[in-house]
Amino acid sequence: MQNQILRVLKKNNGKSLKFNSIIKRMDVDRRRTGEVRQKLNELVLQKKVIKSGKWYYIDKKNIAAERNTSDEILTVTGRFEKNKYFGYVVPDSRLIKNDIYISKKNYLGANIGDKVVCEVIKFDPDDPKKEPEGKIIEVLGQAGNVNTEIFAIARKYNLQRNFPDDVNNEAKNLAKSWENNIEIDDISLEADSRKDIRDKICFTIDPEDAKDYDDAVSIEKTESGGYLLGVHIADVSFFVKENSPLDVEALKRGTSVYLLNSVIPMLPEALSNEICSLKPDTDRYTFSVDIELTKNYAIKGYKIYKSLIKSKRRFSYEEVQKIIDSKKGDFKKELTLMDKIAKIFYKKRMKEGSIDFESREVKFDYDEQGRITGIKVKERLDSMRMIEEFMLLANKCVTEFVTEQAKKLDEELPFIYRIHEEPDVEKLNSLSEFVSQFGYRLHIDDKDSIKDLLESIKGKPEEYLINDLLIRSMAKAIYDEKNIGHYGLGFDDYTHYTSPIRRYPDLIVHRILKEYLEFAKTKNVNFKKVNYYKKRLPEICKQSSAQEQNAVYAEREITKLKQIEYLSNHLGDEFLGIISGMTHYGMFIEIIDMAIEGLVRFKDIEDDYYEFFDKKHLAVGARRGKTYRIGQKVVVKILKTDTETKKIDFLLV
């Protein structure tokens, strides 16, 4: 999509365009305008596009450089078709809109209807009507088959489950060395400036199916009558050394990708599920943040240090929720207190400017054969919110510590920040107009108005619809070496520190943090390291942000594919839905209990001819005047599903 935007601006020869003009020239589905705006803002942040007021353009001196990218090879996935003269691939990619010509010598044994990976060997982005040429480099299987389509999504987003041999060997050697040769005694701990806190009562709380436990928590009373809240994070940086094969591969992947009931990890399982994972009753190296609280639960101070822990229990969120509700079970005293503290922190955070978005995730139920037996929206438990609050607090403390060290030196120290820009005014204007049809008011220049809107829609039929639109109106949070704060959380200083097993930026934050802890102790600055990180961080931030979004898109596509697989066994069944969007050819309906979206085409509604009124967000029958509005509840029947195009057609009942 970024390439499409750049081509539109490039063809304008340096002249500026408004957002709506860019949309028209790209010829994309109007429902993807939020995605286009997000990618455009990313290009502005990357300084590939210049924004002046409401106008966007590419600097003329950069146009020549952009033209050179047309010579780069692209690989795309698609469906193979052929006639007696030649073959062609119908691409999944929206970047290439035309079929890709394949000569007979480049079929690679593909049959009609196969899903293939195609290497594009000739393509002119300046002339999208000109037929591209390619060759097939991999045959994945029959198009439309669910497993084949999953392989295709993995290829599309360049997700590799297997690790290179040198990476696997390094991981195995590290695991073997740790398990067989590690000697944890007072001398080794002192040499590493590491504190032994194995006696502390700490435990992990994660999803039921998790295997990579990268955070543990603890709570205890202090002599002054207050409390000490501990957040203990796996010290992955102890094992993954800079520029090692493990490190290079982790940066390339950027993040672990969670594909329903499986994961494509950032680090090999010998690390992610074993020696780095904070398994119960096992010695593990960690990074700890101890947050001291008064007896009234106000934050008094914090301390950050390298540690050695032994987790006393592995909890699931559901287990903890049961203990909190019943006041019975393991560590009920600690968990009840933690729940109370988390709720106090949450209220304080909301008062100080945080926005609490309720994004919905779906959960699949499976039988013993791995077939989907049901889909439901995940419940956001208090136990989940509790861990969220503690992780937010630890991330904030770490960033504030780095900021304090920078003040002592009176210079900007290199660091990775998690930033979130203020929302785009145009998008908020559109949202304000949209919510007005439900009787709500949104003042776009007032953050409290957004919070009031979220509060007022709770429990209403349109709650999740407006919530989702509000999230789409926001800029995407990204990683950056320059700190501009986090709008959504309302924090001036924020980073990601708590998930180094599955996020590369967290691993880098750990490495940098060790340098700053050393500086705080000795007052000596390692300027060689400072200059090294100043040079490397822009590239790391850009790669990490891109891979994070890559993972989000892949996860969404896999989820949609499995939803379609489930509904394909329920053709003709009826479900309660809500009208979530409209276009000139039909209405998008979301099944409420399963968060699955499909389309009702106006031509399939037999009682009248319906006309869509864009500005009013409604459709009206020409003869009878029956009206359908966004947010209205309807009952739909499953008409048709297509695993290849990932589309679902409904009929109104």
Band of the pLDDT at 439, cuts 50, 70, 90? confident
Distance CA 364, CA 350 (A): 32
For residue 260, the model assigns a pLDDT of 79
3-state secondary structure of 46: coil
For residue 185, the model assigns a pLDDT of 76
For residue 29, the model assigns a pLDDT of 66
- Segment 87-103 shows an average pLDDT of 87
In the chain, CATH 2.40.50.140 sits at: 574-652
- Segment 219-236 shows an average pLDDT of 97
Distance CA 193, CA 346 (A): 34
Would you tell me the crossing angle of helices 60-67 and 2-11 to the nearest 10 degrees? 120
The residue ranking higher by pLDDT, 330 or 436, is 330
Band of the pLDDT at 430, cuts 50, 70, 90? confident
Band of the pLDDT at 129, cuts 50, 70, 90? low
Cβ pair 534, 525 in contact under 8 A: no
**CA 273 to chain CA centroid, nearest Å:** 21
As a CATH number, domain 574-652 is 2.40.50.140
The secondary structure of 453-514 as a DSSP string is HHHHTTTSTTHHHHHHHHHHHSPPPEEESS---BTTTTBSS----S-TTTBHHHHHHHHHHH
- Segment 23-43 shows an average pLDDT of 77
Band of the pLDDT at 526, cuts 50, 70, 90? confident
Cβ pair 537, 481 in contact under 8 A: yes
Cβ pair 360, 377 in contact under 8 A: yes
For residue 97, the model assigns a pLDDT of 75
- Segment 205-233 shows an average pLDDT of 96
Tokens at 333, concatenated: 């005293």
* CATH architecture of the domain formed by 73-156: Beta Barrel (2.40)
Smallest Cα–Cα separation from 23: which of 425, 475, 476, 427? 427
In the chain, CATH 2.40.50.700 sits at: 73-156
For residue 542, the model assigns a pLDDT of 93
- Segment 326-351 shows an average pLDDT of 97
For residue 183, the model assigns a pLDDT of 66
The residue ranking higher by pLDDT, 537 or 52, is 537
Residues belonging to the chain: 653
For residue 540, the model assigns a pLDDT of 96
- Segment 23-44 shows an average pLDDT of 77
pLDDT digits (tens, 9 = 90+) for 576-629: 999 988 999 999 999 999 999 999 999 999 999 999 988 777 899 999 999 999
348 has a pLDDT exceeding 50: yes
Q: Which of 27-31, 167-171, 241-245, 408-412 has the lowest mean pLDDT?
A: 27-31
255 has a pLDDT exceeding 90: yes
182 has a pLDDT exceeding 70: no
For residue 128, the model assigns a pLDDT of 60
As a CATH number, domain 2-68 is 1.10.10
For residue 408, the model assigns a pLDDT of 86
Report the DSSP beta bridge partners of residue 218.
202, 230
Q: CA 484, 487, 492, 495 torsion: positive or negative?
A: negative
Q: How far is CA 112 from CA 117, 142, 266, in A?
A: 14, 9, 36
- Segment 26-55 shows an average pLDDT of 77
Q: How many CB atoms lie under 10 A from the CB of residue 521?
A: 9
Percentage of the chain lying above the pLDDT 70 cut: 95
Percentage of the chain lying above the pLDDT 90 cut: 66
pLDDT digits (tens, 9 = 90+) for 468-508: 888 888 889 999 999 999 999 999 999 999 999 999 999 99
Distance CA 202, CA 179 (A): 22
Cβ pair 633, 626 in contact under 8 A: no
Name the DSSP class of 445.
Answer: T
Task: Count Cβ atoms within 10 A of the Cβ of residue 240 and give its class: 0-12 exposed, 13-18 middle, 19 or more buried.
Answer: buried
For residue 69, the model assigns a pLDDT of 36
For residue 64, the model assigns a pLDDT of 46
pLDDT digits (tens, 9 = 90+) for 287-305: 999 999 999 999 999 999 9
- Segment 521-545 shows an average pLDDT of 92
Dihedral (Cα; 485, 487, 490, 494), 10-degree rounding: -40
60 has a pLDDT exceeding 80: no
Distance CA 390, CA 202 (A): 13
Q: How many CB atoms lie under 10 A from the CB of residue 169?
A: 14
pLDDT digits (tens, 9 = 90+) for 138-180: 999 999 999 999 999 998 899 999 999 999 999 999 999 888 7
For residue 65, the model assigns a pLDDT of 42
For residue 126, the model assigns a pLDDT of 65
For residue 118, the model assigns a pLDDT of 94
Question: Three-state SS string across 364-387, please?
Answer: EEECCCCCEEEEEECCCCHHHHHH
- Segment 423-431 shows an average pLDDT of 84
72 has a pLDDT exceeding 50: no
Smallest Cα–Cα separation from 346: which of 388, 308, 300? 388
Band of the pLDDT at 276, cuts 50, 70, 90? very high
Average model confidence (pLDDT) for the chain?
A: 90
Distance CA 102, CA 121 (A): 10
Question: Three-state SS string across 518-565, please?
Answer: HHHHHCCCCHHHHHHHHHHHHHHHHHHHHHHHHHHHHHHHHHHHHHHH
In the chain, CATH 1.10.10 sits at: 2-68
Distance CA 552, CA 568 (A): 24
- Segment 42-47 shows an average pLDDT of 76
- Segment 237-245 shows an average pLDDT of 96
67 has a pLDDT exceeding 60: no
- Segment 236-253 shows an average pLDDT of 96
Amino acid, single-letter form, for residue 269:
E
pLDDT digits (tens, 9 = 90+) for 447-468: 999 999 999 998 888 888 888 8
278 has a pLDDT exceeding 90: yes
User: Which strands, in side-by-side order, build the sheet including 283-293?
Assistant: 194-196, 299-310, 283-293, 227-234, 215-221, 202-206, 314-316
Task: Count Cβ atoms within 10 A of the Cβ of residue 286 and give its class: 0-12 exposed, 13-18 middle, 19 or more buried.
Answer: buried
